[in-house]
Amino acid sequence: MKRFFPSEFGIESGRVKVLPIFQFVMDNKVEIRKAVEEAGIPHTFIAGNFFAEYFIDVLMRPNENEDTVTVYGTGETKGAFLEMSIKIGLLQSHF
């Protein structure tokens, strides 16, 4: 291996505070980063500065009451969530 580029979108794990429900994700990132550095593996960590933070609030809604759901429109429109996951997968494969 000549150089290691971790495959992730993210933030500078050593310089940010995250919502408690996402702390386990940050802990894993810090652990992997330390292991790479301690092993002396040539690496480049790229932080996209969490460009997708909008989606955490809009899609995951970490601060809302889990007992309620907001339905926009009549609630009869069917969704195609597979299409979104394919687009996200394609986006990730290009980085």
pLDDT in tens, the chain (95 residues): 788 887 666 677 777 777 788 788 888 888 888 898 999 999 888 777 666 655 666 666 666 666 676 666 777 776 655 544 444 554 444 44
User: Domain extents for the chain?
Assistant: 20-64+72-93
Task: Give the pTM.
Answer: 0.47
Which residue among the candidates 2, 17, 29, 34 is catalytic per the annotation?
29
Phi and psi of 54, rounded to 5°? Answer: -55, -40
Q: What's the rounded Cα separation, in Å, for the pair 42 and 85?
A: 32
Q: Is the Cβ–Cβ distance between 41 and 1 less than 8 Å?
A: yes
Of 59, 65, 58, 53, which is closest to residue 19 (Cα–Cα)? 53
**Is 78 an active-site residue?**
no
